[in-house]
Structure 1
Amino acid sequence: MALALVRRQLIEETHKRIVRVTRDLIAEGGWAAAQISVIARRAGLATGSVYRYFDSKVDLCVQVLAEVSEREAEVVAGIIDSEGDAASRLRDAVKAFVRRAARKPRLAYALIAEPCEPQLDEARLKYRDALAEQFARLIAEGTRRGEFVDMPADLLSTCITGAIMEPLIRPLARMAAPSNREIDALAENVASVCVRMVRASEAKLSVVKRRKPQ
């Protein structure tokens, strides 16, 4: 029993190490940098050992994409589920996403837009959908409260997701080591655009404010 537990732990640790090394390589040079021979060497394994855990390089890269994407969606969800008006939470969620992407530009570019195999592209679309679902929850809430325009939340969330990612593609592709000032400016600008896209008219907002209990 003890030996079986130790073996299972070793398998799990090796699996995590392979994924971590692959993620680091993608962050350095995109999908092309994630070569199985290099991954194996950095992970302290024989090349053939990697295939005991993943059927192919694509399967491994899909795992990396899934794990990173899930974490980013969790960060956005945490902000969306916090206190405050919907517009402020939308602004904060967008800024957090952009800042995190810009801090690891090569990895973010690979996850968002770098040309890749069809299986990776399909996983990337699921990533966008998961992110859009989080924003749809917030937009639906903001619409009910009169903060946002009265349009379908799923449509607006798709637009928000595109508005977050599309402006990042070119900057991420050319960023090497962006300064904190550059990152903050980019995050602020993208967040401002997103809030303006969905915010209700000033007249409607004035009515909403008057209705709030003092």
Structure 2
Amino acid sequence: MIPDDAVLIKQGAEARVFHVPSFLTVPEGCIAKERFKKTYRHPDLDQYLTSRRVGQEARSLYRLKKAGLDTPTVYYVDTANATIFMENVIGITVKQRLLETQEENYQSVDIDTLADVIGRSLATMHNLNVIHGDLTTSNLMLRKDKGDAAVVVIDFGLSYNSNLPEDKAVDLYVLERAFASTHPQTEQLFAKILESYFKTSKQQKQISHKLEDVRMRGRKRTMVG
């Protein structure tokens, strides 16, 4: 259950995100992500699907953290109330970082370091067969006071498990489109991300080929409208 002192900081189509300032002995409090009920579904089915999704997100975070990927630490999973209590990551999103430096053409951004850590992080995630499902620059964070070298991957609400190269390629394509639509002139940055990714990926050739296929389908959809 969400504590009384929790402050709503974001609401999406699937969940509400709160900052809980007083949580155990954690100085910065924690983040509580609560999935809300879908009234159009049968209550029993809704509870089953919601509990399954909460469990999947918590398991993804745990597996990735255990493998060394920087993700929010899970403190507690309240399955009955479809809520995950997790680390409150102090910092800014990669989206904010790039938007703040866009006018200077990202000159103050350590492009090589940022690209390398993003690429290696995503490859680590995919090597464990975890598909993020919503890779955007809003779901990549930079820890405060650590510059462009500490990227935290967040929001695994749409994550699932798959060893298919195409699913991993789609994950990358979604991120590529996020860069293209939100951050002008970052083609070189994304190219460096892919370079770092493929150095670490266990399915480099298969995912590379599938990414080209996914890009081609995306271009065809754009042309058709």
Quick check: TM above 0.5?
Answer: no
Higher share in helix: 1
| Higher relative contact order (CA closer than 8 Å, sequence separation 6+) | 1
Higher share in strand: 2
Q: Which has the larger radius of gyration?
A: 1
Provide the TM-score with structure 1 as the length reference. 0.33
Provide the TM-score with structure 2 as the length reference. 0.32
